[in-house]
Amino acid sequence: MTRLGWIILAVVVLLGAAFAAMTSFGTASRTTAPHVGVAVGEPSARDDAPLAVPVAGVRRAAIVDSWMDPRGGGSRGHHGTDIPAAAGTPVIAAAPGTVEKLFASNLGGTTAYIRSPDRRWIYYYAHLAGYAPGLHEGQQVRTGQPIGYVGDTGDAGAGNYHLHFGLQRMQPGERWHQGEDVNPFPLLAGRARGR
């Protein structure tokens, strides 16, 4: 083969490798997230990396900081960020993790607790109308994967459709409900700061 032939062959092989690297083969799993306008993938390992907005179609700029707003007639402060949306809007994982607990409570209604892969954080989703089909404890989820639907369960109040999103810092050995509440707003709004 001539020198020109080797060069052409090398270019064809490189182009083929580049094409293969950009292409995904196989069928989609039922557990992968449909396109809902958010990037699906692993977030940065940094503690100050922004979280994905956990309600499909909601822009970061629309999120309002409701941390420590009065609740229960002023008897307690709000420990999370409320994200209003239409009933039934998909709720998606703000970060990857493992579904640690699916739970119904008086205040939170239908809830999901997802622990981060490093086990240092719990992502709390409350007032859900229901869970995504097949969601179960022990399941690993990816950022952007549907986990439920916006509702008004618990103490949200009939017709007050929203997701209550909470963030808890966990210590080794703590269970799903024992973490220290942290304001999730800066990470939801894209104004990252250390958690």
Those residues with Cβ within 8 angstroms of residue 129's Cβ, 6 or more apart along the chain or in another chain: 87, 88, 110, 148, 149, 150, 151, 152, 153
Reading the block at residue 109, the tokens are: 């209604």
For residue 193, tell me if it sits in a domain: no
Q: Summarize pLDDT for 127-146 with one digit per residue, the tens.
A: 999 999 999 999 999 999 99
* pLDDT, average across residues 179-194: 78
Provide the β-strand partners of residue 167: 123, 182
pLDDT category at 36 given cuts 50, 70, 90 is very low
CATH of the domain at 109: 2.70.70.10
pLDDT in tens, 60-101: 988 888 766 656 666 666 678 899 999 999 999 999 999 999
Single pTM value for the model:
0.71
Q: How many domains does the chain have?
A: 1
* Each residue's pLDDT tens digit, 147-177: 999 999 988 889 989 999 999 998 988 888 8
Within a domain: 113: yes
Domain membership of residue 194 (yes or no) is: no
Residue with the larger pLDDT of the pair 24 and 182: 182
The answer to whether residue 195 is domain-embedded is no
Position 192 scores a pLDDT of 55
Q: Tell me the residue range of the domain where 180 lies.
A: 3-188
